[in-house]
């Protein structure tokens, strides 16, 4: 199981929030919001979810749901709870509060069947022993070791494995059940008709999934050249909304010269954060990160004019073409 992007959801009193995740989510924390409406009152979080049907319930219509309490918080006493709760892809969940205070759910999207390609970034996690935040505008001041020693640094895999997360889980089947439809004669469908319909549906879904996978493979590995000579190549396409200028982006990266020498990297600790398109980083990043999605991996080939030009910077010589292997961690 691999964490691919952060996730959060605010819950307010009197409102029911419906969530249908586009990918599996693991909720790891429930906390009181920043503003407290009731300093002495308890606020309880309730979740309604589909009940897993029994094997012999094929003829039952509809989807039965279950409502469960997942936590109660009281200001000054219990203000947050650690949880280990999964929300599964394309399943409908509803959350509501009993109480007056705002509650924040937090966690991250997970890929429970991650299959990393050779040379990929590998498993991500949160090794917080060091805080390797680097500002790409001033590379020379951020390199903490002699650049000559960076050649021996093993940067083939970024390490960001959620601390304590060791279990490998198989992705469970969807808990949603389709409603039974009528047969061709208008009467309730027979078991044979249901089986036939199910086979057709599975076949259609399989073909759609295959087509989606083929389209994704076409995107991955194809190098594109943008204006100014900047080249981008997606080695892995992420999920969710695409990065746009004006958004805050969290990244991991390895920066290399054309001879393969590493001059800078951020593979541990806090991801490097910046505002896309605001001139906080080199132009090659402001243009090359646009369109990435959380979990996506890309190689940027940045020409001198979109990097550090004639002046260079620290270990970067003048008129250097730069190669960045980057991974998008979060988009806000």
Report CA-CA distances (Å) from 167 to 1, 35, 112, 162, 163: 7, 36, 10, 11, 11
Which is catalytic among the residues 25, 93, 324, 329?
324
Exposure letters 262-295 (e unless 16+ CB within 10 A, then b): bbbbbbbeebbebebbeeebbbbbbbbbbebbbb
Q: Which of 308, 316, 323, 331 is catalytic?
A: 308
Smallest CA-to-CA distance from 321 within 284, 289, 287 is with: 284
Active site residue 253: yes
- Active-site residue among 253, 286, 316, 323? 253
Q: Which residues contact 171 (CB under 8 A, 6 or more apart)?
A: 24, 88, 112, 113
Strand partners, 130: none
CB-hemisphere CA count at 13 Å for 80?
10
| Rounded Cα–Cα distance for residues 1 and 79 (Å) | 29
Q: Which of 24, 132, 234, 264 is catalytic?
A: 264
Q: Which of 99, 106, 108 is nearest to 12 (CA)?
A: 99
Lookup: tokens for 161: 């494995």
Buried b (16+ CB within 10 A) or exposed e, 149-164: ebeeeeeeebebbbee
19 counts as catalytic:
no
Active site residue 49: no
For the chain, the residue count is: 332
Q: Check: CB of residue 225 under 8 Å from CB of residue 272.
A: no
158 is catalytic: no
The SS3 call for residue 283 is helix
Active-site residue identified among 263, 274, 289, 329:
263
Active site residue 108: no
The CA distance from 40 to 76, in Å, is: 8
Phi (first) and psi of residue 287, to 5 degrees = -95, -35
Name the residues annotated as catalytic: 253, 263-264, 282, 308, 324
């Amino acid at each position: 199981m691999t964490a691919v992007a952060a996730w959060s959801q605010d819950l307010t009193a009197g409102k029911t929030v419906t969530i249908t995740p586009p990918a599996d989510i693991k909720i790891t924390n429930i906390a009181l919001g920043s503003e407290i409406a009731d300093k002495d009152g308890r606020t309880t979080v309730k979740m309604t979810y589909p009940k897993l049907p029994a094997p012999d319930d094929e003829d039952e219509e509809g989807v039965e749901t279950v409502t469960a309490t997942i936590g109660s918080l009281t200001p000054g006493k219990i203000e947050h709870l650690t949880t280990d709760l999964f929300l599964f892809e394309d399943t409908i969940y509803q959350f509501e509060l009993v109480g007056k205070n705002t509650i924040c759910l937090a966690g991250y999207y997970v890929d429970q069947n991650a299959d990393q390609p050779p040379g990929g970034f590998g498993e991500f996690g949160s090794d917080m022993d060091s805080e390797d935040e680097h500002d790409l505008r001033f590379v020379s001041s951020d390199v903490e070791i002699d650049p000559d020693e960076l050649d021996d640094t093993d940067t083939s895999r970024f390490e960001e494995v959620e601390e304590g997360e060791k279990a490998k889980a198989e992705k469970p089947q969807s808990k949603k059940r389709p409603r039974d439809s009528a047969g061709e004669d208008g009467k309730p469908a027979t078991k044979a008709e249901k089986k036939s319909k199910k086979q057709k549906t599975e076949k259609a879904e399989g073909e759609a999934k295959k087509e989606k996978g083929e389209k994704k493979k076409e995107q991955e590995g194809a190098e594109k050249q943008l204006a100014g000579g900047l080249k981008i190549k997606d080695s892995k396409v992420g999920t969710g909304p695409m990065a746009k200028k004006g958004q805050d982006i969290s990244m991991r990266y390895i920066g290399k010269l054309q001879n393969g020498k590493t001059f800078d990297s951020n593979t541990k600790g806090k991801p490097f954060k910046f505002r896309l398109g605001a001139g906080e980083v080199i132009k090659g990043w402001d243009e090359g990160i646009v369109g990435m999605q959380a979990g996506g991996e890309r190689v940027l080939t940045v020409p001198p004019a979109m990097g550090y030009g004639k002046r260079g910077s620290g270990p970067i010589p003048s008129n250097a073409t730069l190669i960045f292997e980057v991974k998008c961690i979060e988009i806000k």
